[in-house]
A and B are shown apart, each in its own frame.
Chain A
């Protein structure tokens, strides 16, 4: 079926070519980073994870959110999602690939990557993160591909595929939960050490992921013959609304427990993020997060604006960006500031870091484009 990705018009090939250029530039910067070391990033002794690990965290959520289509469709027989589930699964595939690439570009000695498998270490959450991420990748490739095959042949998916689909539902939850455990299981990192972290990761992801998927599908609808059923849009926006409301509620919970208890170490991270005590790098981003979060929630809660295509699109973009600020940028950095000595060391990504990240995302978009192209062609053929 993959050959279907080789037929396309000028715009399609132009898009592919520009992605390849961006990937090429990113790869060039990566070679530079390999030669020089991670010194070319803005990372330092105190803030030892930054942009790369932030993207890993955010994209794990995007991948996990596929379950928001799979679950209603397969467990509740929500028919409107029928044609869309495959796009959710393929978004998950490209998102997990992006995650794994971000792990690789973050390593100081990437050629030793195999050590994680050669010396399996069950006490390390990172080991389990690798297990669940790779497992989820294979699950979605197998499920997506065999479902698509069944559509092509005009038959129902085999029953073993059904089993895998049911397995994939808790598995999706596990990838974001284990990723949250990477942070929540560390002593002395007060901002991360939070039993709600996994739950708040999931709620944020279940808003931002479907928001991204819906935005992508609206673009796909413009450039192809895909029709998104109205009912599907309505269900998805409702899911996004509830998940987003829960996510913002959890932010308030954290702020309450920090400030009402007056626990200095818990307050320190919020003081720094919102008040800029010790540095002002993250402050504008956090206030933007608050603004985007609140306005998008209002747009989503009010039925008139949720059902209006223009205001809905604005709300989706806002949710996606706010989710990125929260998980992709500030969450990781603020966990390290202040450092164990209560000293504020700032971090900001450098140009190589940004280009490498953009390059990794371009790889994800390339995979996504190819998979979507195949899915659309197969669905078109089977419909005619």
Chain B
């Protein structure tokens, strides 16, 4: 509390105010020059995986048992220190829901049993036209050049406008300090503080180290990750061959998570 009040006073103080004008002018003249959303820096690491447009395919035929799903979810949540908070104030990056809920506009009475009864993995769709980015008043949510929709946890003011904006329920808010709810804190990934929003990041931290997203690695081939802009990539090849669905395409957000049916 003491720290909160001190930081608050500092933020409201004249020193900061003096800097505001300069910042604002800079923003207007050279938008984006100051913000964290500049060109992605993944290329600076030689081993990094890079793409022009990342996309994920979820092969629903290969997800035959609930265990495989659970493996993916656990891999993600353990690696990213996602807390276990019971109730409706929970945090979720990757989770499962029914076809009926994941595709509310596509269900009809005669959906095949396999589809109707199997769980579907859901996560942030890293939309190409993401409303969460459009509405964020601080650019704490931003889209990288490679299509990954990212969050700057240090800039987020916790207004939760992005949660109202996301039509996929992909964002979670830290109603509480998450740390007491994490069983084993992974020291290699930062934990969050209370009062900020968070969501799936397509494991940009792993891509930078040359690794595939944690869920893809744990999925035993049921998740395919790759560059949609590259004609020879595996994601492109599979999308040419198989029928796929995206969640709520009519909203114009252009999701980049594809469900192979």
Contacts of B210 on A, CB cut-off 8 Å?
Answer: none
| Inter-subunit contact A43/B23 (CB<8 Å) | no
- Evaluate whether A123 and B158 lie within 8 angstroms (CB atoms) in the complex, with A39-B175, A109-B196, A112-B11 already known: no
Contacts of A186 on B, CB cut-off 8 Å?
Answer: 131, 135, 164-165, 167
- Evaluate whether A119 and B34 lie within 8 angstroms (CB atoms) in the complex, with A111-B8, A187-B251 already known: yes
| Inter-subunit contact B159/A106 (CB<8 Å) | yes
CB within 8 Å of A: which B35-86 residues: 35
| Inter-subunit contact A109/B27 (CB<8 Å) | no
Expressed in whole angstroms, the Cα–Cα distance for A110 and B16 within the complex equals 15
Binds B, one of A63-71, A162-170, A311-319, A336-344: A336-344
B138 to chain A, nearest CB (A): 4
Task: Tell whether B253 is near chain A: CB-to-CB under 8 Å.
Answer: yes
Task: Tell whether A349 is near chain B: CB-to-CB under 8 Å.
Answer: no
Contact with B along A106-140 (1 / 0, CB 8 A): 11111111111111110111110010000000000
Task: Tell whether B136 is near chain A: CB-to-CB under 8 Å.
Answer: yes
Expressed in whole angstroms, the Cα–Cα distance for A125 and B140 within the complex equals 15
Of the listed residues A35, A110, A116, A121, the one surrounded by the most CB atoms of chain B closer than 10 A to its CB is: A121
| Inter-subunit contact A108/B173 (CB<8 Å) | yes
Expressed in whole angstroms, the Cα–Cα distance for A67 and B97 within the complex equals 49
Contacts of A119 on B, CB cut-off 8 Å?
Answer: 23, 27, 34-35, 138-139, 155
| Inter-subunit contact A114/B20 (CB<8 Å) | yes
Counting chain B residues whose Cβ lies within 8 A of the other chain, the interface size class is 35 or more
| Inter-subunit contact B155/A189 (CB<8 Å) | no
| Inter-subunit contact A124/B136 (CB<8 Å) | yes
Expressed in whole angstroms, the Cα–Cα distance for A193 and B249 within the complex equals 17
| Inter-subunit contact B173/A38 (CB<8 Å) | yes
Contact with B along A30-61 (1 / 0, CB 8 A): 01001111110101111011000000000000
Contact with A along B182-199 (1 / 0, CB 8 A): 000000000001111100
Contacts of B136 on A, CB cut-off 8 Å?
Answer: 121, 124
- Count of residues in A whose CB is under 8 Å from the partner chain: 53
| Inter-subunit contact A108/B176 (CB<8 Å) | no
Task: Tell whether A146 is near chain B: CB-to-CB under 8 Å.
Answer: no
| Inter-subunit contact A108/B160 (CB<8 Å) | yes
Contacts of A120 on B, CB cut-off 8 Å?
Answer: 24, 27-28
CB within 8 Å of A: which B127-141 residues: 131, 134-140
Task: Tell whether A303 is near chain B: CB-to-CB under 8 Å.
Answer: no
Chain B facing A: main interface SS: loop
CB within 8 Å of B: which A150-178 residues: none
Q: Which of B23, B173, B194, B253 contacts A187 (CB 8 A)?
A: B253
Q: Which of A35, A45, A111, A345 contacts B172 (CB 8 A)?
A: A45
Expressed in whole angstroms, the Cα–Cα distance for A17 and B104 within the complex equals 54
B177 to chain A, nearest CB (A): 6
Task: Tell whether B101 is near chain A: CB-to-CB under 8 Å.
Answer: yes
Contacts of B111 on A, CB cut-off 8 Å?
Answer: none
Contact with B along A75-109 (1 / 0, CB 8 A): 00000000000000000000000000001001111
Contacts of A185 on B, CB cut-off 8 Å?
Answer: 135
| Inter-subunit contact B253/A341 (CB<8 Å) | no
Expressed in whole angstroms, the Cα–Cα distance for A154 and B134 within the complex equals 51
Task: Tell whether A188 is near chain B: CB-to-CB under 8 Å.
Answer: yes
Q: Which of A35, A187, A335, A339 contacts B131 (CB 8 A)?
A: A187
| Inter-subunit contact A35/B195 (CB<8 Å) | no
Contacts of B168 on A, CB cut-off 8 Å?
Answer: 188, 340
| Inter-subunit contact A37/B174 (CB<8 Å) | yes
- Evaluate whether A108 and B89 lie within 8 angstroms (CB atoms) in the complex, with A119-B23, A186-B165, A187-B131 already known: no
Contact with A along B108-136 (1 / 0, CB 8 A): 00000000000000000000000100111
| Inter-subunit contact A343/B28 (CB<8 Å) | no
Expressed in whole angstroms, the Cα–Cα distance for A335 and B6 within the complex equals 36
Contacts of B28 on A, CB cut-off 8 Å?
Answer: 120
| Inter-subunit contact A340/B88 (CB<8 Å) | no
Contacts of B196 on A, CB cut-off 8 Å?
Answer: 108-109
Contacts of A112 on B, CB cut-off 8 Å?
Answer: 11, 138, 155-158
| Inter-subunit contact A339/B11 (CB<8 Å) | no
| Inter-subunit contact A39/B89 (CB<8 Å) | yes
Contacts of A43 on B, CB cut-off 8 Å?
Answer: 89, 173, 175
B33 to chain A, nearest CB (A): 11
| Inter-subunit contact B176/A124 (CB<8 Å) | no
- Evaluate whether A118 and B23 lie within 8 angstroms (CB atoms) in the complex, with A37-B195, A113-B11, A343-B101 already known: yes
Contacts of A117 on B, CB cut-off 8 Å?
Answer: 20, 24
| Inter-subunit contact B172/A187 (CB<8 Å) | no
| Inter-subunit contact A36/B176 (CB<8 Å) | yes
Apart from A116-B157, A340-B167, list 15 A-B contacts with CB within 8 A.
Answer: A38-B173, A38-B194, A45-B88, A45-B163, A112-B157, A115-B138, A118-B19, A118-B138, A119-B139, A124-B135, A126-B135, A188-B168, A188-B248, A336-B164, A341-B101
Q: Could you give 15 example pairs across A and B, Cβ below 8 Å?
A: A41-B175, A108-B159, A108-B196, A108-B197, A109-B193, A111-B7, A111-B8, A114-B16, A116-B137, A118-B19, A125-B135, A126-B135, A183-B164, A188-B167, A342-B104
